[in-house]
């Protein structure tokens, strides 16, 4: 992520990475790499599991200022996604957006089925065992081939890795901001 696309540290909640004010939460879904062709298309590196949601007529937000722009056209290519925005009809106009992140608003995301969560909903949750012992805060999520791994950081900065499987993750309460777990016992 380029420095220009990051929010200033004093405006962020250190536990969640979300704004501390009532500003909307923006989630990065792509990074604009370079122009393509003569019609104002850009090659976008995909940073989302749901690139099919980036369709024409959808509004996304570009750069650190989260400037709203409407998608005119998209096409999947080997390098990611070709994307063209309203107002970009030439490579020169599109070039102004290169190296910028593309965001969507978290409050505009579709609901997930019961028991499924977006990563941004889980980051920052307090993690405790079924016995009530507080392990720390869910700090990061590692995506692996088999299942995600939750990185829990204790107040003393020790890290616990928990596989995101039903035998380990017992419950998630977003309203209370608590995840209850049964850590595996390693022999």
Q: Tens digits of per-residue pLDDT, 131-151?
A: 999 999 999 999 887 889 999
Q: Are 96 and 125 contained in the same domain?
A: no
Q: Are 45 and 88 contained in the same domain?
A: yes
Q: Are 134 and 65 contained in the same domain?
A: no
Q: Are 141 and 99 contained in the same domain?
A: no
Compute the Cα dihedral for 11, 17, 21, 24 and give only its sign.
positive
Q: Are 73 and 132 contained in the same domain?
A: no
In whole angstroms, give the CA distance from residue 125 to residue 136: 9
174 within a domain of the structure (yes/no): yes
The DSSP code for 89 is: -
Name the strand (E) or helix (H) holding 170: strand 169-173
Q: How many domains does the chain have?
A: 2
Range of the domain at 101: 3-107
The number of angstroms, rounded, from the C-alpha of 54 to the middle of its chain's C-alpha atoms is 14
Q: Are 80 and 140 contained in the same domain?
A: no
Domain boundary among 82, 107, 132: 107
CB 172 within 8 A of CB 122: yes
Blockwise average pLDDT, block size 10, the chain, 187 residues: 35 44 80 94 91 92 95 92 94 94 89 85 94 94 88 91 93 94 80
Percent of the chain with pLDDT over 70: 87
The pLDDT value given to residue 186 = 67
Q: Are 14 and 61 contained in the same domain?
A: yes
The pLDDT value given to residue 6 = 34
Whether the model pTM is above 0.75: no
Instruction: Write out the two tokens for 111.
Output: 């609901």
The pLDDT value given to residue 118 = 86
Instruction: For residue 9, give the CATH number of its domain.
Output: 2.40.30.60
113 within a domain of the structure (yes/no): no
């Amino acid at each position: 992520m380029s420095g220009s696309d990051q929010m200033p540290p004093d405006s962020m909640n250190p536990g969640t990475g979300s704004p501390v004010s009532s500003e909307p939460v923006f989630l990065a879904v792509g990074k604009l790499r370079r122009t393509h062709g003569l019609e104002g298309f850009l090659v976008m590196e995909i940073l989302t599991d749901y690139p099919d949601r980036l369709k024409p007529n959808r509004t996304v937000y570009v750069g650190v200022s989260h400037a709203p722009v409407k998608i005119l056209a998209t096409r999947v290519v080997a390098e990611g996604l070709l994307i063209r925005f309203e107002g970009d009809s030439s490579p020169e106009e599109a070039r102004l957006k290169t190296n910028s992140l593309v965001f969507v608003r978290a409050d505009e995301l579709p609901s997930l089925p019961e028991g499924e969560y977006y990563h941004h909903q889980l980051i920052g949750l307090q993690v405790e065992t079924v016995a009530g012992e507080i392990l720390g805060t869910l700090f990061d999520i590692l995506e692996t081939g088999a299942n995600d791994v939750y990185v829990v950081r204790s107040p003393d900065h020790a890290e616990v890795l928990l596989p995101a499987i039903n035998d380990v993750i017992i419950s998630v309460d977003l309203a209370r901001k608590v995840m209850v777990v049964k850590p595996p016992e390693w022999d």
